[in-house]
Amino acid sequence: MHPPLTLHRHPMCAEIIELFQKCHNEHPYGKFFGECTDLKIKLDKCFRQEKAVKRKANFEESKKLKERLQAYRKEAAAETENVM
């Protein structure tokens, strides 16, 4: 099973998606008997790579956010100590 094959959501895999959809259109019955399996395998690999890139970017973003939050908490704790 794969996610919806929309080109704007998967720019890294756009070429393979187009080939896969073309294969399905050209082989309406053959697609059920493995005619497009090699493209499906390539598509799955591309989706995994795309997901890994997105995961890494999200991790880096969360790391930056976590550092900012810790700095803010440290600053707030210092201000609280100065007030007392």
| Nearby residues of 44 by Cβ (< 8 Å), 6 or more positions away | 2
pLDDT for residue 20: 93
CB count within 10 Å of CB 57 equals 10
pLDDT tens-place string over residues 43-82 = 999 999 999 999 999 999 999 999 999 999 998 888 887 7
What distances in angstroms separate CA 65 from CA 58, 61, 62, 69, one per listed residue?
Answer: 10, 6, 5, 6
What pLDDT band is residue 1 in, cutting at 50, 70 and 90? low
CA atoms within 13 A on the CB side of 9: 7
DSSP state of 32: G
